[in-house]
Chains A and B, each alone.
Chain A
Amino acid sequence: MKRFTHLEFDDSSRPPDPSGKGESVRDEGYFVNRAVLCFLHGDFELALRNYSRALEVNSSLFEGWAGQVRMLIELGEYPEALTWADKAMEMFPEHPELLAAKSVACLRDAKLEKAKAYSDNAISKSNAGPRVWLGRAELLLHGKKRIAQDCLSKALATAGEQSDLIRLEAGRLLRQYRHFAPACEYLEAAVRLFPKSPMAWYELGFCQQRLGFSQAVTSLEQCLHLHPHYLDANELLQAAQKAGFFRKLMVRLGLR
């Protein structure tokens, strides 16, 4: 059974159980699940807070530390992510995922030499996980290397029970580096796996819009249906709806 198969999204239609029976125990696993949910909602700030709360319960939880570093990267706080990865590595020395996270932070902070060194170090470890390969793929995508696709495949192959999330992250990565067509493949699979994730729908809608597909409107509407205050999606939807033939052509040709 996959790990995130039974993630429950907020469903206000379901009345709370007054007896309190069946209420989940608020252990570290609960907060990690909440953090993943927030990530899928595109709310990285709240995800970071949930990872912190998971660590308040159990400070030796690796997933909590790694998740915090990932969220800091998502929030664009790269020096803080590096600092926090260093702190996490005091507890988990030379952990490849933390090294990979540092590599990504350096890469996005435009420190290529360091990013490459961290990635090399991470990949040389025997227990290199899927995020190590994702980090490597990002480095190669930045260098415009075709082998990046192989790294993504490797990441999926080593993902195991995390493959759903890794697929989504791979799609986001490809979208970030403007490989919209392969990104669409990953993201279409991701929205099937996480149909209630506004972020997955937004990412898919973004790629479809860039490829000039009319399904972009549907995807973005779905995103807004799930998360009405998703500002990026709202803007993109308006742009997609207003786009005329010429603009679509420009987008299709990659001129916009």
Chain B
Amino acid sequence: MRCLQCEFENMPGLTKCMRCGSVLQAPAAVEVHPPRMSRWKKPVRHIMRSLRQTVPAAAWSDEEHRFHIFPEWLRKASRVSFFGAVLSFIPGFAHIIQRRFFSIRWWVLAWLVLLLGGLFLFGSTLGQILLGAAVGVHVWIALHSAVLKEYDSLRVRVGYYLAFLVIFYISYQVLGRVIFFNMRPGFSASHVPAVQVHRGDLLLGRTDIDPNGLARGSYVLTPLSTLGGHNRRSTPVYVQVVALPGEVVDVNDGSWTVNGNFLDTEQYPIPVWLTKLKFRTVVPEDSYFINAEFRGTGYNSQQAASVCIVVRNRIEAKAFMRWIPLRRRGFIAE
């Protein structure tokens, strides 16, 4: 039996050529209709192909087939430091284009776990550590797309790593503010055990609020001013609104009344530093009277009254959730 490919005369009964291995007699049932591309895949493939053509990467380029869209001096630098990192801003995306995502899959998974863990524990020390680790892993993924293939020198690799670490850290900061643009975290300066808000708890608030429509008992984010430092910008904290614009506040013997009505001390506990003071004040129309645990020492009554009043336009957000500690996590009842 003669082979059609190499014309070697084989022994009868053989199914494959002894010399070249070609099939001598085709199997009775063989699929002769090729697989076809689904129509929806066409644009996707076109995009991926264009990316492979225009985005140089060490994985598929070599000396003979350099891309000519950049001058020679820029080619390597751009390939290494720009495209790989930019594409890897979505972790693993550069690898997907290079069709070697498999090599990085566990790192992407680790990044995802660290990121979600960091977000879940955001505001705590462990949360910060996890988020930092997520950034570190992300940078490693970005470098793995190109830099680590290009450079063997430890010094260069470490240099690139540090440089990208700074860039990615800044990017994470910016991105966090962009994604959560209407949310502001902050620590509580009020201590109200009745609603499970303690001093130092991390609260989450929304910035899209109407500063004129705040209710008594709301927690608002505002920079606290101290006597003599009204113009200095301090870190904003969440404080409790005690009295609304136009109301009359009396502080006397460790309790306070608003418009002559005693406030429930469980809901509106008077801060320690105010218990020794005694004063009466009217809240201006553009301000709120707030309850903050620590405002400084040595105030007389008049000064204390003035620092407890916050102007409306200095209110940045209204808290809706207790975030940290975990055991008290939950929404704040209105």
Q: Which among A4-12, A51-59, A224-232 touches the partner chain?
A: A51-59
Chain A CB within 8 A of B329 CB: no
Q: Give min CB distance, A80 to chain B, whole Å.
A: 5
- Bound-state Cα–Cα, A78 to B64, Å: 23
Q: Give min CB distance, B8 to chain A, whole Å.
A: 13
Asked whether B37 lies within 8 Å of A80 as measured between CB atoms, the reply is: yes
Asked whether A80 lies within 8 Å of B52 as measured between CB atoms, the reply is: no
Q: Give min CB distance, A7 to chain B, whole Å.
A: 23
The 8 Å CB contact of B36, one of A77, A109, A143, is: A77
The 8 Å CB contact of B20, one of A48, A87, A93, is: A93
Q: Given that A76-B42, A80-B35 are contacting pairs, would A60 and B60 also be in contact in the complex, using a CB cutoff of 8 Å?
A: no
Interface string of A26-63 (1 = CB under 8 A from B): 00000000000000000000001000100110111010
Which A residues are CB-close (under 8 A) to B4?
60, 62
Q: For chain B residues 76-132, which have a beta carbon within 8 Å of chain A?
A: none
Q: Is the interface of B mostly helix, strand, loop or mixed?
A: loop
Q: Given that A91-B26, A92-B5, A93-B21 are contacting pairs, would A112 and B34 also be in contact in the complex, using a CB cutoff of 8 Å?
A: no
The interface on chain B, measured as residues whose beta carbon lies within 8 A of the other chain's beta carbons, has a size of 28
Chain A CB within 8 A of B74 CB: no
Asked whether B53 lies within 8 Å of A60 as measured between CB atoms, the reply is: no
Q: Give min CB distance, B135 to chain A, whole Å.
A: 32
- Bound-state Cα–Cα, A116 to B36, Å: 25
Residue of B nearest to A109 (CB): B49
Chain B CB within 8 A of A113 CB: yes
Q: For chain A residues 69-91, which have a beta carbon within 8 Å of chain B?
A: 69, 72, 75-80, 83-84, 87, 90-91
Asked whether A52 lies within 8 Å of B35 as measured between CB atoms, the reply is: no
Chain B CB within 8 A of A3 CB: no
- Bound-state Cα–Cα, A52 to B33, Å: 6
Chain A CB within 8 A of B23 CB: yes
Asked whether B26 lies within 8 Å of A59 as measured between CB atoms, the reply is: yes
Q: Give min CB distance, B34 to chain A, whole Å.
A: 4
Chain B CB within 8 A of A198 CB: no
Chain B CB within 8 A of A95 CB: yes
Which B residues are CB-close (under 8 A) to A87?
31
The 8 Å CB contact of B5, one of A69, A72, A95, A116, is: A95
Chain B CB within 8 A of A111 CB: yes
Asked whether B62 lies within 8 Å of A113 as measured between CB atoms, the reply is: yes
Chain A CB within 8 A of B235 CB: no
Q: Is the interface of A mostly helix, strand, loop or mixed?
A: helix
Asked whether A112 lies within 8 Å of B22 as measured between CB atoms, the reply is: no
Chain A CB within 8 A of B65 CB: yes
Asked whether A112 lies within 8 Å of B65 as measured between CB atoms, the reply is: yes
Which A residues are CB-close (under 8 A) to B30?
59
Chain A CB within 8 A of B196 CB: no
- Bound-state Cα–Cα, A59 to B286, Å: 89
Interface string of A140-182 (1 = CB under 8 A from B): 0011100000000000000000000000000000000000000
Asked whether B62 lies within 8 Å of A91 as measured between CB atoms, the reply is: no
Asked whether A142 lies within 8 Å of B22 as measured between CB atoms, the reply is: no
Chain A CB within 8 A of B265 CB: no
Chain B CB within 8 A of A205 CB: no
Chain A CB within 8 A of B61 CB: yes
Asked whether A52 lies within 8 Å of B22 as measured between CB atoms, the reply is: no
Asked whether A110 lies within 8 Å of B49 as measured between CB atoms, the reply is: yes
- Among A58, A92, A116, the most chain B Cβ lie within 10 Å of the Cβ of A92
Chain A CB within 8 A of B25 CB: yes
Asked whether B65 lies within 8 Å of A77 as measured between CB atoms, the reply is: no
Q: Give min CB distance, B59 to chain A, whole Å.
A: 8
Chain A CB within 8 A of B333 CB: no
Q: Give min CB distance, B42 to chain A, whole Å.
A: 7
Chain A CB within 8 A of B69 CB: no
Chain A CB within 8 A of B154 CB: no
Which B residues are CB-close (under 8 A) to A109?
45, 49, 52
Asked whether B34 lies within 8 Å of A110 as measured between CB atoms, the reply is: no
- Bound-state Cα–Cα, A144 to B20, Å: 35
- Bound-state Cα–Cα, A254 to B5, Å: 46
Asked whether A62 lies within 8 Å of B5 as measured between CB atoms, the reply is: yes
Q: Give min CB distance, A73 to chain B, whole Å.
A: 11
Q: Given that A92-B22, A95-B5 are contacting pairs, would A143 and B65 also be in contact in the complex, using a CB cutoff of 8 Å?
A: yes
Asked whether B52 lies within 8 Å of A91 as measured between CB atoms, the reply is: no
Chain B CB within 8 A of A103 CB: no
Which A residues are CB-close (under 8 A) to B36?
77, 80
Q: Given that A62-B4, A76-B42, A93-B22 are contacting pairs, would A112 and B32 also be in contact in the complex, using a CB cutoff of 8 Å?
A: no
Asked whether A52 lies within 8 Å of B34 as measured between CB atoms, the reply is: yes
Asked whether B32 lies within 8 Å of A64 as measured between CB atoms, the reply is: yes
Q: Given that A62-B5, A110-B52 are contacting pairs, would A84 and B35 also be in contact in the complex, using a CB cutoff of 8 Å?
A: yes
Q: Taking beta carbons and an 8 Å cutoff, which residues of A are in contact with B?
A: 48, 52, 55-56, 58-60, 62, 64, 68-69, 72, 75-80, 83-84, 87, 90-95, 109-113, 116, 142-144
Closest 3 CB pairs of A and B: A55-B32, A110-B52, A60-B26
A80-B37, A84-B34 known, 12 other contacts, Cβ within 8 Å:
A56-B32, A62-B5, A72-B34, A77-B37, A79-B37, A80-B35, A87-B31, A91-B23, A92-B23, A110-B52, A110-B53, A112-B60
19 CB < 8 A contacts A-B: A48-B34, A56-B32, A59-B26, A59-B30, A64-B32, A76-B37, A77-B36, A78-B45, A80-B36, A91-B26, A93-B20, A93-B21, A94-B21, A109-B45, A111-B60, A112-B61, A112-B65, A116-B64, A144-B68
